[in-house]
Structure 1
Amino acid sequence: MTNPLTTLMSTKELFSLDCETVIFDCRFDLMTPETGQQEYDEGHIEDAIYVNLDEVMSSPITSTSGRHPLPSKESFAQFLRSCGVSENTQLVAYDNSAGLFAARFWWMCRWIGHESVAILEGGINAWKQQGGKVTTEAPNINQKGDLTVKESLESVVDVDDVIKASKLKDRIIADVRAAERFRGEVEPIDPVAGHVPNAKNIPLSDNYDAEGQFLSADQLQQIYRHKLGDYKAQDPILMCGSGVTACLSRFCIELAGLPPVSVYPGSWSEWIRDPNRGVETGN
């Protein structure tokens, strides 16, 4: 494929795409998981395929895992193949949550080595506002794709890496949850409030302007240079509640043109499975 789109795609670009493309609808609600499928059924971009966070982009929860453990690379690749995805397919992901769940899909595609994946800027709302049509018809998948798992384009760390970074303070641990959750003042989802000892907070909201749109590449670069310093590639570790929103901040770092960083998929909901790992509150 020539010049694949690998970060943001405008609705205008989607309208005019003339390459092999598969579109994925990633709408989801953490508090009411059935909402995304319902919204998809009520209207989606033509030929878009629904991808469920719990069923496709996560594996079953275990006694030691976080809330959204990663599936195997092969199982995710198999899902993509069943949707007709091949090596040269341009993938487009959208949601109605400012890219939040689409970014998990974007990151996972890169995690299995597929670079040609972009997020639709403004999601389905922008699509409809700019004249794009929606349908309730099921997509027509003509053939199975031949996508294979390749060398990962993303760096993943596990809980042992985070324990080491927390103790040695040799790598920045950046928690992207809202400031009040980081400080432990509220915790709407997980049973323990607070954050990993020696982590710093870079709230997800820092990535957006007042209208909820992504900041420009230059603005994002300024924010992350200020918060992370002049870091070496993959040294900083991004985490969140369950490894979903951290992917959005990872996407924004890519959008900013900065060196890649690592993601801790287990995140806070895995960290607190063992009380011996420690919890801090406040700033």
Structure 2
Amino acid sequence: MAHTLLISPAELLQLQREHQRLMVFDCSFDLATPSHGAAMYLEEHIPGAVHADLDLNLSARHGAPGPSGVLVAGAADAPCSGGRHPLPNRERFAMWLSAVGFANDMQAVVYDRNGSTYCGRLWWMLKWMGHDAVAVLDGGLQAWKAAGGAVASGEEPAHFQTNFEIGEPLRRLVGADEVHQRLAHGGQTVVDARAGARYRGEVEPLDPVAGHIPGALNRPFTENLGPDGRFKPAAQLRAEWDGLLAGRDPAGVVHQCGSGVSAIPNLLAMEIAGYPPAALFAGSWSEWCSDPARPVERGG
């Protein structure tokens, strides 16, 4: 049976022992120093893991990934979202998946050492590509090591090229125009995953405008995790999210953050809590505030 939300270190070890069709992705990253992601991977990672870099592989920030998995500046395929970490074109992303040897019949396991901040991006993107068999390693590399899991260092051998086929999206992507249009019509609940001070507009270290989308609720993504870095139990998450939504229809939830990355732990937490999959505004605040015609709210 496929793992589609979370997987424990013990469950991953069992899959490895059973020689299941499996690919593990290390998504460790450092926003302040992007090159540190690759350095952390080379220092230690789960044996056999493929490194998935937020800037180079999971965003179209400098172009789109070509056949070798390297981003091609000026590629004709337009990104699928705006913001600081725009989603790459689905066809180009499929080329990267094929280049690293990922196939449609494989179980994907994604992890980082950043509280699931970055690996959630790949979890969501694979769902968006129509691939349901993808799970987040609960607790990340730290939990893996604590459970006695082995680590490796350096580069891993290259995998054989595959031909990953795109399926119907299993998660919904929305754009800034749709979010803007629905502000006046009700039925939409925007949930902002940024820290409270950024949400309220007291500070803004990354984007040119401070504040939030009018009417958005604030749920910092870190609130979904316990002290051990694992997601809180489903019942606890359900109670917390019920309190936040306060009777609002969960089907109308749209998740956002600064650039569409740290919103994913909120989206994932809602699913762990038993809610149906919610939509993602991948361009998030960095796209929203780029147009002065879009309204901005401060305080809260």
Tell me if TM exceeds 0.5. yes
Q: Secondary structure at the match of 2:165?
A: coil
Compute the displacement of 1:232 (Å).
Answer: 5.1
Correspondence for 1:25: 26
Measure the CA separation in 1 of the matches of 2:183 and 2:192: 12
1:70 aligns with 87
- SS of the residue 2:268 aligns to: helix
- The partner residue of 2:266 within 227, 238, 249 is 249
How many Å separate the matches in 2 of 1:92 and 1:83? 14
- Secondary structure of 1:134's match? coil
Change (3 A) 1:142 1:263: closer
Provide the C-alpha distance between the structure 2 equivalents of 1:7 and 1:131, rounded to a whole number of angstroms.
22
The answer (yes or no) to whether the contact 1:61–1:69 under 8 Å persists in 2 is no
State the Cα distance separating 1:229 from its structure 2 match.
4.6
Q: Percent identity?
A: 40
Residue 245 of structure 1: how far off its partner (Å): 0.9
The answer to whether the 8 A contact 2:82-2:282 is kept is no
Q: Provide closer, same or farther for how the CA distance between residues 16 and 212 of structure 1 changes in structure 2, counting only shifts above 3 A.
A: closer
* Alpha-carbon distance between aligned partners in 1 of 2:154 and 2:36, rounded to the nearest angstrom: 18
Provide Cα deviations, 1:172-226, integer angstroms capped at 9, x if missing partner.
1111111111001111211211101121112212212244331101111122222
Could you say what secondary structure the match of 1:174 adopts? strand
Q: Secondary structure at the match of 2:119?
A: helix
Contact 1:166 1:199 in 2 (8 A): no
Deviates more, 1:167-176 or 1:70-79: 167-176
Partners of 2:204 and 2:210 within 8 A in 1: yes
Q: Which region of structure 1 is more displaced relative to structure 2, 68-77 or 106-115?
A: 68-77
In 2: Cα distance, 1:228 partner to 1:150 partner: 32
* Matched ranges for 1:64-213 at <5 A: 65-213=82-230
| 2:10 counterpart letter in structure 1 | K
1:77-131, CA deviations, whole angstroms, 9 ceiling, x for partnerless residues?
Answer: 1111122211210001110011110100100000000000011111111212222
In the aligned structure 2, how far is the partner of 1:141 from the partner of 1:10? 26
Q: 1:142 Cα shift?
A: 3.9
Q: 2:44 matched to which residue of 1?
A: 43
Letter in 2 for 1:37: A
> Structure 1 residue 234: deviation in Å?
4.1
Counterpart CA distance in 1 for 2:85 and 2:237 is: 27
1:7 aligns with 2:5: yes
Q: Which residue matches 2:78?
A: none
> Are 1:58 and 2:59 counterparts?
yes
Where 2:87 maps in the other structure, the secondary structure is coil
Distance 1:37 1:196 in 2: 34
What CA distance in whole angstroms lies between the structure 2 residues aligned with 1:5 and 1:145?
Answer: 22
Superposition deviation, residue 139 in structure 1: 2.0
Contact kept, 8 Å, 1:217 with 1:257, in 2: the verdict is yes
Structure 1 partner of 2:67: none
1:7 aligned partner, one-letter code: L
* TM-score, structure 2 as length reference: 0.89
Give unmatched runs, 5+ long, in structure 2.
64-80
Q: TM-score, normalised by structure 1?
A: 0.94
2:159, 2:220 → 1: CA distance?
42
Q: Where does structure 1 lack aligned partners over 5 or more consecutive residues?
A: none
Deviation by residue 1:8-43 (Cα, 9 ceiling, x = unmatched): 111111111021001100000111111111111111
Aligned letter for 1:6?
Answer: T
Task: Report whether the alignment pairs 1:264 with 2:281.
Answer: yes
Amino acid across the alignment from 2:37: G
Return the letter of the residue paired with 1:43: E
- Say if 2:187 and 2:249, in contact at 8 Å, map to a contact too: no
Do 1:20 and 1:89's aligned partners in 2 also have CA atoms closer than 8 Å?
yes
Q: Which amino acid aligns with 1:80?
A: L
Give the CA deviation at 1:231.
5.5
The reply to whether residue 226 of structure 1 matches residue 224 of structure 2 is no
